[in-house]
Amino acid sequence: MDNFILQNGVKIPCIGLGTWENRDEKSVVDTISEAINCGYRHIDTAAVYANEQYIGKAINSIGINRQDLFITSKVWNTERGYAKTMRAFEKTLNNLQTDYLDLYLVHWPASPSKYDNWAELNAETWHALEDLYKMQKVRAIGVSNFWIHHLEQLLNVANIVPMVNQIEYHPGYRQSYVVDYCKAHNMLVEAWSPLGRGKMFSIPELIQIAKKYNVSVAQVCVKWCLQNGILPLPKSTKPERLKENADIEGFTIAPDDMRIINSLQLESSSGQIPDEIDF
């Protein structure tokens, strides 16, 4: 499988390159060139990652056709609301040196613990994304880090159901209730930090399963996401790891091993909880 297909028929390459915390110009340009060389066609960024302009520069200098890439970015928390989101989007396009995005996401929901008017704020931001979609400036729209109560409120007022929800997802933090809700509403779940930011590498069950298939724990995590119908966004800046994380064709995790991973009793989330974040 090379692509997932979103609810509006848009194809999205089934592994994306995570770029969080890669904000040094040379590192970003080198990573993007290397990733494209080894077959990545899907790049996930965000305004707050402060690397959009370097990604734009890298893509431009490589000379790859824009249509051959799938580029996602996200509107940051300080830019919520209709007018600010519209302005943030234009800045993102400018930074990325492109005239459209493949996917634009609301980075984090405004939450009831922080804002009395949280539902309204999310609705206004969402209406901006809907208009960008109608204006054909983005091929797909979605959200990130939305839990069920955020999604329920949004669906009350949305004219377009979010096509994607990007959440933290790895064997140590599976958020099954959110995943089930998204699948029931035909929203593709994308996994940020599918390797648990490296924390998965020391989990004995994962080490054992990786040995059994003669692959790395990182490859097990990526494949496990895909076999659960979730799109992984592993992040690396190292050429050999970029290759490794995308080289997952040669094995299939057997149902028994999937069950082991799907029932691991771990609580190793990053701690970035949508209703608690203070940024």
- Minimum gap (Å) between residue 242 Cβ and ligand A2P: 8
The C-alpha atoms of residue 37 and residue 24 are separated, in whole angstroms, by 20
Is the four-CA dihedral 219, 222, 226, 229 of positive or negative sign?
Answer: positive
Burial of 176 (0-12, 13-18, 19+ CB in 10 A): exposed
Contact segment (CB under 6 A) with ligand A2P among 45-53, 69-77, 176-184, 190-198 equals 190-198
Total residues in contact with ligand A2P, by rule CB under 6 A: 17
Chosen residue from 244, 253, 257, 261 binding ligand A2P by CB under 6 A: 244
CA dihedral 51, 10, 69, 3 (to 10 degrees): 100
Burial of 279 (0-12, 13-18, 19+ CB in 10 A): exposed
Q: Which residues make Cβ contacts (< 8 Å) with residue 134, sequence separation at least 6?
A: none
Catalytic residue status for 49: yes
Contact segment (CB under 6 A) with ligand A2P among 54-62, 91-99, 104-112, 187-195 equals 187-195
Does residue 196 belong to the site contacting ligand A2P (CB under 6 A)?
yes
Chosen residue from 13, 16, 18, 274 binding ligand A2P by CB under 6 A: 18
Q: Which of 40, 49, 104, 133 is catalytic?
A: 49
3-state SS assignment for residue 89: helix
Chosen residue from 13, 16, 142, 194 binding ligand A2P by CB under 6 A: 194
User: How far is Cα of residue 269 from the mean position of the Cα atoms in its chain?
Assistant: 16
Does residue 236 belong to the site contacting ligand A2P (CB under 6 A)?
yes
Chosen residue from 151, 218, 220, 225 binding ligand A2P by CB under 6 A: 218
If the CB atoms of residues 81 and 274 are measured against ligand A2P, the closer one turns out to be 274
The structure tokens 């940020």 sit at: 192
If the CB atoms of residues 198 and 255 are measured against ligand A2P, the closer one turns out to be 198
Note the residues at the interface with ligand A2P (CB under 6 A): 18, 193-198, 216, 218, 234-238, 241, 244-245
